[in-house]
Amino acid sequence: MTEISTGLRAKHQRMVLVVIAIVAVIAAGLLAAYALRNQANFFYLPEQMSANPPETGKAVRLGGMVQPGSLQTLDDGITVAFVVTGNEAATIPVRYSGILPDLFVEGSGVVADGSLQENGTFLATNLLAKHDENYVPRELEGLEQHKSPEQSYTTTMYTD
């Protein structure tokens, strides 16, 4: 033991110290990231929102995919209603009055600012379109596998 410690040259001691310091910093960073994992989410998925509903009227964000076939314009002409889906069966109906982002289409990702109402509808005050690397949000990886491969084909490949 003493042989090793006296045999260590100053350069090696510094190297060991730097390696220990790097390991400690990485461990601290990972711990912090782990502790943040829920707070740092930018939005809730529908299954997170229905499993753990926020207080009605509290400002939250809901994100997911606009269910194909669910988008409809209501009679007043400016309010749209659609259903947001996630990885699991849970869905949340959304209502929004205002200008829709250009990339907002059925089957695409969306992030809605707003609040959950008494009747379980999410009333959005602002909509953001979420662009995805291949159309279907990563949070919906499960869907992507059994959803049409041609959908991701058409979104990533250029169609004239």
| Cβ distance to other proteins smaller for residue 43 or 122 | 43
- Among the listed residues 43, 69, 65, 64, the one whose alpha carbon sits nearest the alpha carbon of residue 54: 43
Phi first, then psi: give them for residue 108, nearest 5 degrees: -115, 165
- Residue 53's contacts (CB-CB under 8 Å, 6 or more residues apart) are 116
| Cβ distance to other proteins smaller for residue 18 or 74 | 18
CB of 55 to other proteins, least distance (A): 20
- Residue 128's contacts (CB-CB under 8 Å, 6 or more residues apart) are 101, 110, 111, 112, 113
- SS3 category, 89: coil
| Cβ distance to other proteins smaller for residue 37 or 146 | 37
CB of 58 to other proteins, least distance (A): 18
CB of 54 to other proteins, least distance (A): 15
| Cβ distance to other proteins smaller for residue 45 or 80 | 45
CB of 98 to other proteins, least distance (A): 11
Q: Interface with other proteins by CB under 8 A: which residues?
A: 11, 14-15, 17-18, 21-22, 25-26, 28-29, 33, 36-37, 40-45, 63, 101-105, 108, 111, 127-135, 137-139, 152, 154-160
| Cβ distance to other proteins smaller for residue 47 or 83 | 47
* Number of alpha helices (DSSP H) and beta strands (DSSP E) in the chain: 5, 6
